[in-house]
């Protein structure tokens, strides 16, 4: 039972990170119908920028751990959001009127560019992420000791998800995003500046992805320029699992995927961990072709 | 007779490639071998992605099934690898049938992520030494070279002729396929699935058939790859491999056979030319992909819609009114029901 709860909490923490990345995929997909393959690499950028801020600029040393940590997260989010906006401007905006496939190839190209820029700047080997940013004390909850880091990751992710949900549901620009996701043309006719909506999506999504990168760096203690591929793929899987384009779906899909993976690697086989996630995805899609929370879209004739 | 653009392209390609073995060294011949291999893979994906319009980002899975079939049967049972060529096509096709059958009804992007998943599951299964046959992450060593009428295909130059002959065969067959009723059906369902369904095209059936043909051909490419390398490992069949083939089809021109051939030269050949830039070459490559899509998003050599000339119709078939007597008379409108 002890092991089960350890795995469950671990799964929830990793799943929350998947959910943060998945939100970026799902928001972009919702508005542009584009699989943003470069999103996973923006996530890697977040991890590396966090590393630079911690080691080179020693952000957390001047302040206390709590305040320093918050500043770190906010700075990383801002920087990655900026990168996301640049990416949208350079690689996606010129392709707004093109067939969808060419935007996908442009996204793949952007992913290669980001990946190799990181490799040229930071080198190809694994870099160690400092582990002393947060005190590594276990916290006792219901008689089980859970590392503080895991709780912080889960709490931050959850806070961001709630924040995003409120942003999308309650604010004017959030309403505009939802409108543009339903019908871009009609949204434009209602006086919504769709280009601005897309820009906001490319600020918010990468900001969350960058924060996720930082959290993954903290969780696993190392970063590599290629890690965006696998996490991006997992997160995209999570988004599809929940129903792509659907924001609560991405959250649910991410958490579900994290827990399934964590329990699967504990009770089935570690070597098959990644395969389990994809098997679950395929089984879910056979039963529900548009994901768990996805709505059935009627074919237009 | 006026030469069509496609024919001109093929003639130019043959004129460039035919003297290549006599001028290039073994390294560049090997690059040309790789280009040929990717051209076969690209042409096989072109059936699925270009003609049927199905997003398949897991093509490496079918390639892997073919390569491992060849490697296992060759090393365990000593069956000559060339004989295994059709067997590899068969197993890869069968694998596609089993895997794709349940998911064929998924819409575009859902299908895309599932093919990614299939590719990853296959790679992980190979690493985990599934059924104790695949040799884990080390892969399979000691695959024999192909024998052709007692002649051993060994050196890059031999493979050059072998691979490009297979490319030529593929181009010939797939051109025939493209112009057949089957090819038209695929194009129809790519353009408008609902209309195709409405015109009596069994879309699920045709999509599945496209997948099986593409997979079978990728399986044969896998056989050639195994024979060329004599050692295969799971890392050769990663997601990245699928991405490369996907990119070369789109970049060259989806649905266009000359486009795919040119795409494989650009995607596989150009990074070799940039070897001087060492580390930055993939960066340039990525930038080139973005720029290319911005300025020419239909690919380098896009597919042109095929004209159908009506002069093949029998005499008088174009004038139905001449048969029904008084020309120009409009038949009386029926009473509305």
Q: Is B238 on the interface with A (CB under 8 A)?
A: no
Distance from CA of B290 to the nearest CA of A (A): 5
Q: How many CB pairs under 8 A join A and B?
A: 130
Check residue B135 and give its pLDDT: 81
Check residue A126 and give its pLDDT: 87
Check residue B205 and give its pLDDT: 92
Distance from CA of A185 to the nearest CA of B (A): 21
Within-domain flag for B184:
yes
Tell me the chain A residues in contact with residue B110 when contact means C-beta distances shorter than 8 Å: 240, 244, 285, 289-291
CA-based nearest residue in chain A for residue B113: A237
* Residue A250 neighbours by CB under 8 Å, 6+ apart: A19, A22, A23, A25, A26, A238, A239, A242, A244
How many whole angstroms separate alpha carbon B96 and alpha carbon A88? 36
Q: Do B285 and A275 touch (CB under 8 A)?
A: no
CA-based nearest residue in chain B for residue A244: B110
Check residue B311 and give its pLDDT: 62
Per residue in B26-44, pLDDT tens? 888 888 999 999 999 999 9
Structure-token match 């496609």, residue found: B6
CA-based nearest residue in chain A for residue B112: A35
Check residue B269 and give its pLDDT: 83
How is residue B151 annotated by DSSP?
Answer: E
Within-domain flag for B328:
no
Sign of CA dihedral B204, B210, B214, B215: positive
The residue range of the domain holding B110 is 29-237
The domain total for chain B is 1
Q: Do B106 and A237 touch (CB under 8 A)?
A: no
Check residue B328 and give its pLDDT: 44
CA-based nearest residue in chain B for residue A94: B294
Q: Do A233 and B279 touch (CB under 8 A)?
A: no
Within-domain flag for B271:
no
Q: Taking all residues of chain B, what is their mean pLDDT, rounded to a whole number?
A: 84
Q: Do A120 and B280 touch (CB under 8 A)?
A: yes
Within-domain flag for B330:
no
CB contact at 8 A, B257 and B175: yes
Within-domain flag for B320:
no
Tokens of B92: 């890869």
* Residue B166 neighbours by CB under 8 Å, 6+ apart: B36, B40, B220, B224
Sign of CA dihedral B230, B235, B240, B242: positive
Within-domain flag for B284:
no
User: Mean pLDDT for each consecutive 10-residue tract of chain A (301 residues)?
Assistant: 84 92 91 88 93 79 75 92 93 85 86 90 85 73 80 89 92 92 90 92 94 89 87 89 87 93 85 84 85 68 52
Tokens of B222: 């896998």
Compute CA B100 distance to the chain's CA centroid, rounded to the nearest angstrom. 17
Per residue in B271-329, pLDDT tens? 777 776 667 777 888 888 888 888 887 778 887 777 666 666 566 555 554 444 444 44
- Select the residue from B234, B238, B294, B302 to test the A interface by mutation, using most A Cβ atoms within 10 A: B294
Full-model pTM: 0.83
Check residue B316 and give its pLDDT: 57
Residues of chain B with pLDDT under 50: 1, 321-337
């Amino acid at each position: 039972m002890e092991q089960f709860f350890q795995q469950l909490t671990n799964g929830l923490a990793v799943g929350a990170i998947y959910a943060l990345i998945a939100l970026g995929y799902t928001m972009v997909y919702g508005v542009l119908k584009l699989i943003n393959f470069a999103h996973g690499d923006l996530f890697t950028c977040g991890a590396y920028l966090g590393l630079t801020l911690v080691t080179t600029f020693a952000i957390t040393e001047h302040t206390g751990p709590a305040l320093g940590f918050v500043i770190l997260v906010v700075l990383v989010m801002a920087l990655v959001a900026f990168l996301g906006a640049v990416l949208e401007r350079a690689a996606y905006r010129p392709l707004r009127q093109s067939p969808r496939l060419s935007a996908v190839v442009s996204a793949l190209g952007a992913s290669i560019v980001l990946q190799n820029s990181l490799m040229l700047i930071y080198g190809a080997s694994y870099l160690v992420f400092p582990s002393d940013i947060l005190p590594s004390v276990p916290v006792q909850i219901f008689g089980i000791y859970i590392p503080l880091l895991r709780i912080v990751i889960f709490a931050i992710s959850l806070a961001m998800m709630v924040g995003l949900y409120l942003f999308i549901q309650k604010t004017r620009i959030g309403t505009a995003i939802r409108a543009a996701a339903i019908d871009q043309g009609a949204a434009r006719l209602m006086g919504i500046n769709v280009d601005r909506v897309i820009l906001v999506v490319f600020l918010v999504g990468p900001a969350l992805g960058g924060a996720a990168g930082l959290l993954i760096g903290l969780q696993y203690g190392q970063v590599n320029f290629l890690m965006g591929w696998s996490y991006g793929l997992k997160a995209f899987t999570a988004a599809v699992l929940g129903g792509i384009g659907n924001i609560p779906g991405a959250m649910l899909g991410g958490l579900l995927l994290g827990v399934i993976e964590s329990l699967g690697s504990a009770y089935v086989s570690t070597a098959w961990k990644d395969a389990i996630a994809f098997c679950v995805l395929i089984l879910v899609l056979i039963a529900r072709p548009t994901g768990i929370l996805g709505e059935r879209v009627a074919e237009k004739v | 007779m006026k030469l069509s653009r496609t024919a001109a392209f093929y003639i130019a390609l043959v004129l460039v490639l035919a003297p290549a073995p006599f001028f290039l060294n073994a390294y560049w011949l090997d690059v040309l071998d790789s280009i040929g291999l990717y051209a076969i893979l690209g042409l096989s994906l072109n059936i699925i992605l270009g003609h049927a319009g199905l997003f398949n980002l897991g093509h490496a899975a079918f390639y892997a099934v073919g390569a491992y079939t060849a490697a296992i049967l060759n090393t365990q049972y000593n069956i000559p690898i060339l004989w295994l060529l059709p067997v590899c096509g068969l197993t890869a096709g069968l694998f596609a049938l089993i895997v794709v059958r349940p998911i064929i009804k998924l819409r575009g992007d859902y299908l895309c992520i599932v093919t990614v998943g299939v590719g990853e599951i296959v790679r992980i299964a190979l690493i985990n030494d599934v059924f104790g046959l695949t040799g884990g992450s080390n892969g399979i060593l000691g695959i024999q070279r192909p024998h052709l009428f007692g002649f051993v295909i060994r050196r890059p130059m031999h493979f050059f002729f072998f691979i490009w002959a297979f490319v030529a065969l593929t181009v010939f067959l797939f051109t025939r396929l493209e112009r057949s009723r089957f090819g038209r059906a695929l194009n129809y369902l790519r353009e408008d699935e609902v209309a195709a369904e409405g015109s009596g095209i069994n879309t699920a059936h045709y999509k599945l058939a496209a997948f099986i043909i593409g997979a079978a051909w990728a399986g044969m490419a896998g056989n050639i790859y195994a024979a060329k390398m004599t050692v295969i490992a799971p890392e050769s069949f990663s997601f990245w491999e699928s991405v490369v083939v996907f990119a070369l089809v789109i970049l060259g021109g989806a649905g266009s056979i000359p486009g795919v051939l040119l795409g494989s030269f650009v995607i596989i050949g150009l990074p070799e030319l940039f070897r001087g830039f060492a580390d930055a070459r993939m960066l340039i490559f990525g930038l080139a992909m973005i720029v290319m899509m911005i300025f020419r998003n239909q690919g380098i050599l896009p597919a042109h819609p095929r004209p159908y000339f009506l002069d093949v119709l029998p005499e008088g078939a174009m004038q139905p009114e001449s048969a029904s007597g008084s020309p120009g008379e409009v038949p009386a409108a029926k009473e509305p029901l």
